[in-house]
Every structure is written in C-alpha cells, then in structure tokens.
Amino acid sequence: MEKEDDKSDRRKFLKLGALAGGVVLLGSAIGKAVSLDSTKETGEKVKVLTADGKLMEVDGCNMKHPAAVKLTNQEMRKGIEGKKFVMVIDLAKCANARKCVEGCQKMHHKQAPTEWIKVKRMQDAESLTPYWMPQPCFHCDNPPCTKVCPVDATFKREDGLVMIDNERCIGCRFCMAACPYNSRSFNWSEPIIPQGMEAAEYSIEKSFPAKIGTVEKCDFCPDMAREGKLPDCVTACPNGTIFYGDQNEDTVTNGDQTFRLKELLTNRSGYRYLEELGTEPRVYYLPPVNRDFPFENDTIVHNTEDYKII
Amino acid sequence: MKHAEIILTPEQQSMRREELRADILRPLQKISFLGKLWIAFLVVIILIGGYAYIQQLKHGLIVTGLRDYATWGIYISNFVFFVAISLVGALISSVLRLTNFTWYRPLTRIAEIIAVAGVVWAGLIIIIDMGRPDRILNLFLHPRIQSPILWDVVVISTYLTTSVLLLYLPLLPGIAICRDRLTDKPKWQRWMYKFLALGWTGTPDQWKIMKKSITILCVVIIPLAISIHTVTSWLFATTLRPGWDSTNFGPYFVAGAFLAGTGCVIIGMYVFRKVYSLEKYLTDAHFGYMAKLLVFLAFVYAYFNINEYFIPYYKMRGPEARLLTDLFSGQFAGLYWSAQILGMALPAVLLMFKSMRKPLPVTLIAIPVVVFAWVKRYLIVTPILLHPYLPIQNAPASWMNYFPSWIEIEIVAASLAGVLLIITLFSRFFPIISIWETLENEGIELDELDELNNTKNEKA
Ligand code: SF4
C-alpha cells in the first residue's frame, strides 16, 4: 500500500500533471505552446511533453489556452477538431479504491446508484486470480448504441466520442439494450440537480443538467478537455490507474506519468475488452501483470441503495 | 372445400339469406345485462390503467420495476405479444382467401378484428414504454433510417392501415345491411352506419371493385404481416447480447406468432359462438380445422425452438451458457418449461386425438397456448437483459432482478382489456361474421342482396 507522505506528494504532482495533461491534449503543436520569446514569466512551472516524447518544464506564461468560446449544442455534435480521444486502464494498478466512481459522480452531479464508471471484480477462469476492472463507456468506433437510436439522439463525433443529446432522446432505451457493456444509465426519475444549478443551460458536452426519461453515460469529459483538464476519474484515482489522451498525438497521461500510446500498448500488451464483438472500443486495458497490489476481495457490497421511490 | 352443390331455388335462396342476416344481426339488436357488465368491467380496468399511466407520467419510469439492467420488461413483452397476435389475423385470412379455402370464411372477421385490436395496442404500449412520450414527434423530425425502431414505426403503421382496410372493405355490405335494418338504433349509430357504408348498394360494379381491392389487399398484407413480426424480432436480433444475437430470430418470432394468433382466434370463435349463438356458422368442423392447424403450427414452432435453444445449449458458449442454464434449470426454469410444455408440446400432442378436436376441449387447450405465448415473450425479453457479458455487481438488489411493479401490471392489464374492448365493441356494432362471404360459400348468389337494398333505397 502507498504511504501517506507519498500520497500528499502525489497530490501536488497531480495538480501540475493535470495541467501538463491539458497541454498534451491541447497542444496541437507543442512547439507553438512553448514559444520561449514570450512576455512575463509567472514563475509557475508546468510540465509539458515535447513532440519527441520528452517531458520538459516551462513557465506557466507560455501556456496557450484557447479562449472559452460558448458552443451551441449543434456545434458540440461535431467534436473537437483534430482529436481522437482514448483511454488506457492499467489493471495492474487498480486496487478497487472506487475513487474514480466517486470522482465521476461528484463531477457530473450524479448520485448513487448511478455509476457512469463502474469497478468490476473480474475473474476470467476459476483457476485464475481475480482482478479489478474499472469500466467507463468504451466510446466504440463501431458503436452498437448509436446505430439503433431512432432519433439521432446518441451519435458518434469526429473526435471519437459517443455522445447523447438529452434534449432529443425519447427514452426508448434501445441503446441501453444494444450496448453489450451496459455502459448506459437511465434517468428513471426527476434527476436531483444541486442547489444553485437549476438554471444551468443544457450542454451535451457536460451531460448536464440531466433530464428525466432520457439516457446518459460516461461522456469522456470533452468539456474538461477543452479547458485542458483531465476527467475526474483520472485525477481522483490514488493509484494512477486511468490514462487519458489523444490518439492523434499518440500520448496518454494519468496526470502523473505520460506515455506514448503506441509504445505503452505494445510494451504492456494492451488489449480491448471483448475485441471479438467488433465494436472497436476506444478504451484499452493493460493486463493485470506485475500488480502493484495483491488482489484483495471486497468485503463490502457497494451501491446497494436504490433510488428513493416516491 | 365448397359446400355440397345443392342447387337451391330462388325462394330457398332468399329464405336462407334472410335467415342468415337475422342470425347475424341478432347480437347487434340488444346487449344483455351480462354483456353490459363485461364492457363495464373492461372499462374499469382501462380506467385503472389510465390512472396508473398518469402516475408514470408524473414520476417517470421509476414507478416501474425497470432499472438500468432490466431496462425492458413487461411493456415490451406485451408489445411483442400484441404484434404476434396481430400477425395471424390478417395473414391467415388473406392466405386462405387467396387459396380459396372457403371453410375459413366465417372466421375471417374474427381473425381480422383481433389483428386490428392487437396492432392498435401494440402501438400504444410502445409509447407507454417511452421515457419521453412528449417527444414522440422527434421520430418524424429527426428520423434515423438505420434504426430498427423506425422500421417498426413504418411497418406497423402501414400494417395498421392495411389491416383496417382489409377489415373494412369486406364489411361494407354488412354495414349497408345494418344501415337498412337497424333503424331503431340511436341517431348517431344510424348516422355512423350511413357514413361508413359509403353509399353501398351492392351494384355489380361495387361488388367487382370491392372484390378486386380485397384481392390486392390480401396480396399486399402477406409481406407486411411477415415484416412486422420480423422487424420486431430485429429489435432484439440487431444487438450483440447473448440470447438475442441470433440469426434464427425472424422466423422464430413469425412461427411463434402464428401459434399464438391461432390460439386467440380459437378462443374468439368459441366465445362468439357461445355468446352470440352462432353454432350454425362457427361449426364443430371449424374447430376441428383450427385444431389441426394448431398442431401443425406447434410443430413448426417447436422446430424453431430447437434451433433457438438447443443448438446453443449444445455448444454452451460462455455468456450464453449462463443464460441457458438459468432458463433450463435456474430462476426462469419454471416459466420456461411451462411455456414450452403447456404452451406448445402438450397442446400439439393432445390435439392429435380426434376426441380432443371438439369446440370445448380445443378452446381449453388454446387458452394455455395464448397465456404461455405471453410468458414466452417475457422470457425472450428480460432474462437476456439480466445476463449481460459483464457481471452485474455493486448494484441495488432491485437492479439484479426484475419484477414488474403494480403500475406496470395495471397498465398491461389495461392494454389487454383494451384489446378485448375493441373486439367486443366491434362485435356489438358490426356483424362478426361476414354475411356475403358465408352466402357465397353456400353457393347463394349475391346480386339478390342488392336488389333488396335497392328497393329499400328507392322507397326511402
Ligand atoms: S434511449 Fe434515447 S439515446 Fe437511446 S436509442 Fe432511445 S432515443 Fe436514442
């Protein structure tokens, strides 16, 4: 298990890492972002990944963040230009901390028992040691869910994301039946919106505010990516299990470590869950070899409360 | 097979016509107390269901037993069931019409009204299942043609139109008789007959046009009827779920629909025969034929069931094995084997005995066929959803199982009552047996019918 001081150290690092991750994501040309002839130095050092895969530190003033432009929901159907989002989940690192689940619920204002990312206890055969498997939406490249939607309420974007327009969804739940991974959840009752946010305008990329009678799921947080931040499931994980990144830039990061996607998948024998279904997931798994933690069975059953029934 | 060719004199013919008309119009004359009670009972069930649906609209689908894993339940099974019973009405009657199996003629209308009632409620129940029925127009504003739901919308609405026409056109002479004979009815009813009869007087031209249109409709409705059920099976077969991911699903569904629908027609025949004293028209021979048909269809269905369940069972492929074990010996075994044995195997065996092919036993055997056809639809929908690839973990107990809530049960009961109400009301206002087709079947000329009407009209 990790020691306390290690943890606090990591937290600090995470902050930087989150920014670094952002740069990796947004730095369509990292050279440009790190133009050194710039003006005032802030003294804040930021780690960035150069085009040849080296980490370097630059001053915060050199970071370019795109101005926050307000996008219409129609524009959000297109996706972020030039991106192909991916996720890599290192099963050797997962210790069933379930922080990704909580982080995600908090960020998206979801209450239990709805989990957009789940942690499953997997055991491939009785003779094999079980392992924990965090499971978000796979954002498949051949998505069975979008095909069946009768009203184009769930759709595939150019940046690889499978999104839902909760203002269009008719709640037929065909996509839930079609998803072989059960990644989708349904707003069975009037969703609970945190106080003060009732007036928020609906945004496809935020999947918020939720709408009763419609389907929702993990959205890969493109709104965060636009701001150069990592999704909460990534940053909330104390073990750095989840890596998020861009396939076009060939980089993924857990906020702490950054890797070349191809290299990581090759060196660690990355695979996709149920490849034979042909859904082409955008989420890769690294097999649970040389584990950071020995497998420990969970003594508590989580998430047992159903919705409050009126 | 036509009735024996006994040449009747014109007097005998007109007597027979009169007799037949009187027999068939009798149920329309007066509704007995029991008849009224029955209608009231159905209306009460529908009202309760309506109240339940208002609750569902108010609070959302949370009031059902559905949750994130079992996201489809008895609404969808009921939908599939209604589509199933609606297939047979039109299909059997059109096939038998085209192939000149004339014995079937007194049954056509019963089969057709079951079809219409079934498809109307299939459409309604699918709207009830929607999370956002208020957005139903999105289907037309943002249609996506690659979705099987859209195919279903298209086929079901086309099928509804066609089967209503197939019910209506042959009914025109009947409505005209009602218009001319039932003159003591309230004004609105007389007006309705007049309006619906479309000025039918039975001129040779009218007969010709009608018969031609019926032939066209009969041809058109065959592919339509097969497609509504096939497309409905595709709602499941287009997914990757173990248990639905089957190339056998289309024919399997169609075969099951034939069986269920035939069962419904038999029950309908029996009830109408008893309640409206139609023993002369719905004869023992009809029950005999239908029983034989049921045996045949049960065998066809069994064939598809073997393909659907036992071949995968032979292989026991990973995730499918879990589902099949659960169906064969797990929590669904009771329902599964009852459906297979009581709803298919046993009826087929019993009806092979001649002594069983009498009206009452045939009907008693048809009842479990229909009831378990419904159960089978449930077994096709929900157990599969509860056996996904990834294990269901860390979820509330209510998510791991499905049990319909009272609201769902009430709404489904209301939809069943709705089907029965449509059939009942129809039979209260219109002749449930096609008069002219029965006459024609007996070799009695039709032209006379018009003369009668014409003289009446002239007098008026
Ligand atoms: S539930 Fe909504 S998103 Fe899913 S298929 Fe139906 S309309 Fe599309």
pLDDT tens-place string over residues A69-105: 688 888 899 999 999 999 999 999 999 999 999 999 9
Pairwise CA distance, residues A183 & A139, whole Å: 10
B358 contacts: CB under 8 Å, gap ≥ 6? B284, B287, B288
Place of tokens 């309760």: B48
Q: Is A120 on the interface with B (CB under 8 A)?
A: yes
CB atoms within 10 A of CB B27: 20
Q: Which two tokens stand for residue A6?
A: 């290690």
pTM listed for this prediction = 0.89
What stretch of H or E contains A154?
strand A154-156
Give the residue from chain B lying closest to A173, CA to CA: B71
Q: In which residue are the tokens 């039979």 written?
A: B427
The CA distance from A306 to B216, in Å, is 55
Interface test with B, best of A148, A216, A298 (most B CBs within 10 A): A148
Q: Does B69 touch chain A (CB under 8 A)?
A: yes
Calpha distance B177→B23 (Å, rounded): 13
Question: Given B62, B132, B148, which is nearest A309 (Cβ)?
Answer: B62
Q: Coil, strand, or helix at residue A119?
A: strand
Closest among A142, A31, A44, A93 to A285, alpha carbons compared: A93
H or E element at residue A162: strand A162-164
A252 SS3 class: strand
Rounded to the nearest angstrom, the distance between the alpha carbon of A173 and the centre of ligand 1 is 5
Q: Which atom of ligand 1 is nearest to the CA of A152?
A: 8
- Ligand 1 center from residue A149 Cα (angstroms): 5
Give me ligand 1 centre to Cα B130, in Å.
10
**Six token digits for residue B262:** 């035939």
Closest alpha carbon to B170 in B83, B110, B220: B110
Per-residue pLDDT of chain B (460 residues; tens, 9 = 90+): 444 456 677 778 778 888 888 888 888 888 889 999 999 999 999 999 999 999 999 999 999 999 999 999 999 999 999 999 998 777 777 887 787 777 888 888 999 999 999 999 999 999 999 999 999 999 999 999 999 999 999 999 999 999 999 999 999 988 988 888 888 888 999 999 999 989 888 888 888 898 899 889 988 898 898 999 999 999 999 999 999 999 999 999 999 999 999 999 999 999 999 998 888 889 899 999 999 999 999 999 999 999 999 999 999 998 899 999 999 999 999 999 999 999 999 999 999 999 999 999 999 999 999 999 999 999 999 999 999 999 999 999 889 999 999 999 999 999 999 999 999 999 999 999 888 888 777 777 665 454 444 444 444 3
A151 lines ligand 1 (CB under 6 A): yes
* Minimum CA distance residue for ligand 1 atom 5: A149
CB A171 near ligand 1, within 6 Å:
yes
Q: Rounded to 5 degrees, what are φ and ψ at A46?
A: -130, 135
Q: How far apart are CA B138 and CA B141, in angstroms?
A: 5
Distances (CA, A) of B241 to A131, A144, B386: 24, 11, 10
Q: How many CB pairs under 8 A join A and B?
A: 157
Q: Give residue limits of the domains in chain A.
A: 4-62, 83-308
Residue with tokens 């989420």: A283
Cis (ω within 30 of 0) for the bond into A209?
yes
Distance, in Å, from the CA atom of B278 to the CA atom of A111, rounded to the nearest integer, reads 62
Question: Could you tell me which residues are beta bridge partners of residue A57?
Answer: A47
Question: Hunting for tokens 């689908």 — which residue is that?
Answer: B61
Tell me if A171 and B399 make a contact (CB, 8 A cut-off).
Answer: no
Q: CA-CA distance, B148 to B155, in Å (whole number)?
A: 10
Chain A residue numbers with beta carbons less than 8 Å from the beta carbon of B157 are none
Span A83-308 CATH architecture: 2-Layer Sandwich (3.30)
- Quote the ligand 1 centre to A146 CA distance (angstroms): 8
**Which of A118, A182, A184 has the CB atom closest to B394's CB atom?**
A118
- Answer for the pair B78, B374: CB distance below 8 angstroms, yes or no: yes
Q: Do the chains contact at B394 and A184, CB–CB below 8 Å? A: no
**Exposure string over B48-74, b if 16+ CB within 10 A, otherwise e:** ebeebbeebeebbbbbbbbbbbbbbbb
Q: A212, A189 in Cβ contact below 8 A? A: yes
Half-sphere exposure of A259 (CA within 13 A, CB side): 20
Q: Among A19-33, A162-176, B211-225, B230-244, which stretch is predicted with the lowest mean pLDDT? A: A19-33
Which chain B residues touch A176 with a CB distance below 8 Å? 68, 71
How far is Cα B32 from Cα A272, in angstroms, rounded to an integer?
Answer: 68
Predicted interface score ipTM higher than 0.95: no
